[in-house]
Structure 1
């Protein structure tokens, strides 16, 4: 079998697009989802129509045991694991003074703990294959965002996780990088009105919102042999916003 990749939260949005791009390179992709099996199956069917291959696996990565089950399913099915993309994440828009403990816990558990959980279980298998890890962060991790304070906190944690783990695992042949997307036209931003989106475009040197394909193409490169000397980096994809 060629390389095998787990992409968390990949039934939609950026994760789905990354899964498609990797599948186009002949990589067997595991599409992870938390609740929407139909969308995961649709994503897998799209990949198969393009000539790629993969499987789906339900797991809530915020739960340690379910993250372990996701990795075990992959290795039992494929016999190996070469790539991990920690993409699963949630957001919350609102003032910090109005943020509840439950909302805080949800962001921390999914965005930060979920990244730890899956990586922790995947590392022994990635070591055996000298694999690669890609984390998905956000430009707000580096610059902060009003009304998204806790979200920005979690993404800043992912940046530190990336750089620290890259130093820890480099002697053992594992690369760890991160993409920090800017304003990408995904379902996460569908609560914005068209006027709000148009106003954002005014601040972008590229004169458009980013697309999931913009992120996926960069992810495919970072996970390829062409990027063999890129390690511990936070790659910003923001169309010139910052």
Structure 2
């Protein structure tokens, strides 16, 4: 991949997109909880990096203490191990955020481990394959509970302990602005995150709390690869710059929103899709 940094600028493949180590101290002294910081096991010999893991590692490289929360403690530990190998500070918390009681415990444990909390990233989500006309209440509620209710209560619990100047980032999807997946439960839940981001930003004004939303497009993550194996047309379609995005590109966008560099950006959604949502696509070279 090193050669591609020199040879493929037409694909917008530069060092940050490939996770090349940089340390600029952009989050020095910060204490950030990343919910959904692990990633699933994969059959790939050379696995890609997931969004939650990339964000956690990047935040730690930039000087933050990072609590990595996940329903799978082993997956969270894998992220913390990566952080530790690079000399950073990481902590593991296991939590199933579909249970509000576990959310409260997760926030308490994160704040205790890091001696405070001033940043929160909520990177959770599930979908189902139910099209309009075949949805049922149980499947619908399961998606909404994890994708929308959980982020709400994560933010509410965190806001109660975060000092002025803190920041929240919700990870949505371009499904929030497009019906093309044909999956109304997922699309509706991710669109709801935009409203939630605005609500938290509005409510946080008095205490100097910001909230924003990331909307990634097609990203080369272990979950994305599994989706492409199940639906090959997903990977075969023309894409921006002829490729999918990387978890590091999502992480760099999250880094901007969680850092003080975005201090006057509030209640907004940042789309990270290379231009897919505006039709800027081409066939892979």
Q: TM-score range by the shorter chain?
A: over 0.9
Pairing 1:86-105 to 2, within 5 Å after superposition: 86-105=122-141
Query: 2:212 matched to 1:177?
Result: yes
Q: What's the RMSD between the two structures over aligned residues? A: 1.7
Aligned twin of 1:79: 115
For residue 9 of structure 1, what is the aligned residue in structure 2? 36
* Residues 109-188 of structure 1 mapped to structure 2, 5 A cutoff: 109-126=145-162, 128-188=163-223
| Counterpart position of 2:240 | 205
With normalisation by structure 1, the TM-score equals: 0.92
**What do residues 202-230 of structure 1 show as CA deviations (whole Å, max 9, x unaligned)?**
1x232111111110011011111211111
How far apart, in 2, do the equivalents of 1:165 and 1:135 lie?
10
1:228 aligns with 2:241: no
User: Post-superposition shift, 1:198?
Assistant: 4.2
SS in 2 for 1:90: coil
Residue range with higher mean Cα deviation, 87-96 or 147-156: 87-96
Q: Determine the C-alpha separation between the residues in 2 that align with 1:47 and 1:166.
A: 30
CA contact (8 A) 1:10 1:31 kept: yes
**1:122 Cα deviation from its structure 2 partner:** 0.7
Measured in 1, the distance between the counterparts of 2:212 and 2:193 equals 10
How many residues are treated as equivalent by the alignment? 238
User: What residue in structure 2 maps to residue 192 of structure 1?
Assistant: 228
Report the Cα offset of residue 197 of structure 1: 4.2
Contact 1:84/1:122, CA 8 A, preserved across alignment: yes
> Runs ≥4 in structure 1, deviation > 6 angstroms?
none
Q: Is the 8 A contact 1:91 1:188 kept in 2?
A: no
Give the SS at the match of 2:129: coil
Task: Indicate the SS of the match to 2:227.
Answer: coil
* TM-score between both structures, scaled by the size of structure 2: 0.79
1:22 maps to which residue?
Answer: 59
* Structure 1 residue ranges without an equivalent (≥5): none
